[in-house]
Structure 1
């Protein structure tokens, strides 16, 4: 075990910090002793130190499962700037030659970032299994529960990967996980002896505000008035891509001195990363985005988080609003609510999972394909999804369940009448169960929005028994008014240009330029 003075020295030597934040040292000490740990720490508390420091001071390789390419790229870039050259991320942007080079030199790295999907590649797992993988980390571990069952089922296969890598020490990290989600993470990873390190997730410097309005027009007017008064880095969250684009364009027109962009799942990956980097570098003031934007972003001076639409669950809201005020300065989370707002998330929940008709059509198609021993390769999968009119998410859900129950093995269909009847009934029940679960989560959000008591207490009730005294105004239920808010503001001292051509045009002709690039996410509507 590392003694405390040695850990303090290592922290200062490698990361230039003089002391640990709450929970960091305790988690590091446990994993250095070989204990599996589930760490729940508030957003902005420096969770990455919990595995980056061990990766530097202990032998072997640390593998980090991360949900977003942009998040991996940022982490590796920051580590290399901090003279940690033995860090690398494997992602879809790599050329075949770059990926081969990393594969052939895996033994020279100390820290490897990958997505759960890439970890399903046989060649990579085979190479890793021959190395000394000392620590296996799941960053943003709530994704196992939040995304694993529908959007990204490869999260549910991580326990198999851990076994293939010779059972290294496991660290799962998240900022938001109810006791129920904690149990789901531990069960999915098959680590029953995992030590829980759960710390208060409330943020004393964030004020919570719910404003009830008549319609979207009133929402937009309120947002414009706020930005005319406050010049602060801000995020506006939407569940609709079209709305994010529309409001971004409108704000650019109404607020010519602000640099505005939008970010959603219909965009190219490079455009997403571009927007994220511009926001991080203070080249954008406002980003109209869907829910993935900001995950893992360590931008200290975000002051205002606005929710134009309802989040699907309180966990998502805490994650998103927690991106404000990481420097400890006064910040506000504003949720706007109109009577029609519940319809969008309700329809999203309804459309995320397949229904009983989809289930029956799928098994009929599989039956006929089994007669001809037709393989379910990538092309066939896409063709089936199109024929059955299934979304990518719905097909991904079906495919995982079919493989889990042995109906699809090695891309071939195995027909057994009794087993198929059992699986059909099981899937029917699972779909009902997951839909009810999501509806309950949405109802929790609606109940919170309509509460007449303290918003802070209601927000954290499911996660912890108490909360700390806020440093500034508590919430709109406890007397917060906008005239009381005096945030640290930023000045518009740097113009944003969408390309070098636009910058040249501005220099030569004094032309105008607008931030119209954008980026993406999973859980959103078009």
Structure 2
């Protein structure tokens, strides 16, 4: 298909005047019916690479997205541009509404869907009845067992594609090493996929590392920094409890700022509400875990702080990349205190079941088989085997591919179980070793004496762009001299509580 992508009507619909690096090349290959793997830096407009073709191509474009809040944002943005034939299929949809959508799939040009919903036989059945012009996998690094956001439901997408008559694929990510790229290609069974890999460094972000002796020094530094700079800010933590503690501490010490916390243990509706308030400039600072941010497209985030450093460089680059998407001067500040390594080491230890416990786990599974080989729910199996969610997600997938569990029915075959135990033990050792190596990489980077920017990106690209506003701590940049564009606050605006109070004549008003 030959299409002039610079047509005025196309550019107007998406409110753009030209393409960013990589967009036009990827879109052209998609329009010519090629499978494409696109690795573009965060904030570079990856969504345009499938949204634009979806408006032009015949048939339906399906987008697998890992977060409900991300889907909702994308749908909202598209509808605001006049693109109405878009829907998000997720757990928020009422069952009757979901049934109606499935029966009218041809009415849509773009369908966002969660990877979990794609595993259901009914979903595949309905999708096989329509013409799928493009199958998009957003945040494609989630496919890779070696990626920093590995999700087994993503790894099953190769099977999903085969069941849907193998439509053309566009896989997109911002942070994928060469190893992860090859894992994505292998998992999707697309050996001839066209690769478009672009440098991921962002020249408008300066990198700073602040070494302190204890947590109280981190907190004092943040208070002073935020008092000086009222800007949209993300503060990342590795602890859910700490997000709440520090959010309360900052609210008390910086009453002028609107501060909230966000983590995976919160109610889904609460998380979406917090995210929308931040997107609409109703919150200044979010204290969050890594659960916040994937796919967030807020252009004016100025500060990304890491109270705790993440487990690996890829996670750090992904989180830092949420800053300065408008091209304005922005800063990443990472804190380090002696002993900070304890948290990531603990996370690595608890992410997968311990090898020495596998014999007991398999024995307990066998006892469940002896009691009943009928259907057992995921939750029941997880509880009976005494595994946390991360351990069970990993183990469940491995048991599936080894034929030990089929549709949540336990299948016993002595030799198969013996081989599975050996294979899973080896995989846990390999994965844990990789995680430990990745952790060492980021710790070494924190203590790097040469240019931080150069060493941050060396595993991904051969060079880096010239910094626009400042490079890094080791190259002379200091956050004390940073002049950020401040958030303007309308002091006359009232919160909904104030408006409701006035409306209902509450307070000290005369009767």
Q: TM-score, normalised by structure 2?
A: 0.95
Cα deviations across residues 260-292 of structure 1 (Å, max 9, x unaligned)?
000001100000000000000000000000113
Q: Which runs of 5+ in 1 are unaligned?
A: 512-526
Question: Is 1:395–2:392 an aligned residue pair?
Answer: yes
- TM-fit CA distance, 1:231: 1.1
Which of 471, 477, 482 lines up with 1:480 in the alignment?
477
CA contact (8 A) 1:211 1:334 kept: yes
Q: Separation in 1 of the partners of 2:171 and 2:352?
A: 27
Q: Which runs of 5+ in 2 are unaligned?
A: none
Q: Separation in 1 of the partners of 2:148 and 2:401?
A: 12
CA contact (8 A) 1:283 1:496 kept: no
Paired position in structure 2 for 1:514 = none
Q: Secondary structure at 1:136's aligned position in 2?
A: strand
Q: Separation in 2 of the partners of 1:455 and 1:377?
A: 50
Cα deviations across residues 427-468 of structure 1 (Å, max 9, x unaligned)?
111111111111111111101000000000010000000001
Cα deviations across residues 219-275 of structure 1 (Å, max 9, x unaligned)?
000000101111111000001011000000000000010000000011000000000
Larger RCO, structures 1/2 (Cα 8 Å, 6+ apart): 1
Q: How does 1:342-353 map to 2 (within 5 A)?
A: 342-353=341-352
- TM-fit CA distance, 1:6: 4.2
Q: Cα gap change, 1:58/1:131 in structure 2, threshold over 3 Å: closer, same or farther?
A: same
Q: Separation in 2 of the partners of 1:94 and 1:426?
A: 39
Q: Separation in 1 of the partners of 2:452 and 2:172?
A: 26
Q: Secondary structure at 2:248's aligned position in 1?
A: helix
Q: Separation in 1 of the partners of 2:324 and 2:412?
A: 56
Question: Is 1:15–2:14 an aligned residue pair?
Answer: yes
Q: TM-score, normalised by structure 1?
A: 0.93
CA contact (8 A) 1:283 1:494 kept: no
Paired position in structure 1 for 2:468 = 471
Q: Separation in 2 of the partners of 1:502 and 1:397?
A: 48
> How many pairs were matched up?
507
CA contact (8 A) 1:148 1:156 kept: no
Q: Secondary structure at 1:235's aligned position in 2?
A: strand
Q: Secondary structure at 2:488's aligned position in 1?
A: coil
Q: Separation in 1 of the partners of 2:104 and 2:59?
A: 14
Q: Separation in 2 of the partners of 1:48 and 1:108?
A: 21
Q: Separation in 2 of the partners of 1:44 and 1:506?
A: 41
- TM-fit CA distance, 1:151: 6.0
Q: How does 1:255-294 map to 2 (within 5 A)?
A: 255-294=254-293
Question: Is 1:323–2:309 an aligned residue pair?
Answer: no
Cα deviations across residues 392-416 of structure 1 (Å, max 9, x unaligned)?
2211211111110111223322222
CA contact (8 A) 1:60 1:134 kept: yes
Which of 357, 378, 381 lines up with 1:384 in the alignment?
381
Q: Separation in 2 of the partners of 1:70 and 1:330?
A: 27
Question: Is 1:166–2:165 an aligned residue pair?
Answer: yes
Q: Secondary structure at 1:335's aligned position in 2?
A: strand
Q: Separation in 2 of the partners of 1:452 and 1:124?
A: 53
Paired position in structure 1 for 2:30 = 31
Cα deviations across residues 448-494 of structure 1 (Å, max 9, x unaligned)?
00000000001000000000100011000000112321111112225
Give the superposed CA RMSD: 1.9
Paired position in structure 1 for 2:432 = 435
- TM-fit CA distance, 1:15: 1.0
Q: Secondary structure at 1:462's aligned position in 2?
A: coil
Q: Cα gap change, 1:231/1:501 in structure 2, threshold over 3 Å: closer, same or farther?
A: closer
CA contact (8 A) 1:150 1:396 kept: no
CA contact (8 A) 2:141 2:150 kept: no
CA contact (8 A) 1:241 1:290 kept: yes
Paired position in structure 2 for 1:411 = 408
Which of 420, 429, 454 lines up with 1:457 in the alignment?
454
CA contact (8 A) 2:147 2:180 kept: no
Paired position in structure 1 for 2:304 = 305
Q: Separation in 2 of the partners of 1:277 and 1:430?
A: 39
Cα deviations across residues 336-389 of structure 1 (Å, max 9, x unaligned)?
0001100000000000100124311221122233334422421xx323322332
- TM-fit CA distance, 1:502: 5.5
Which of 418, 423, 434 lines up with 1:421 in the alignment?
418
Q: Separation in 2 of the partners of 1:397 and 1:496?
A: 48
CA contact (8 A) 1:304 1:334 kept: yes
Paired position in structure 1 for 2:88 = 89
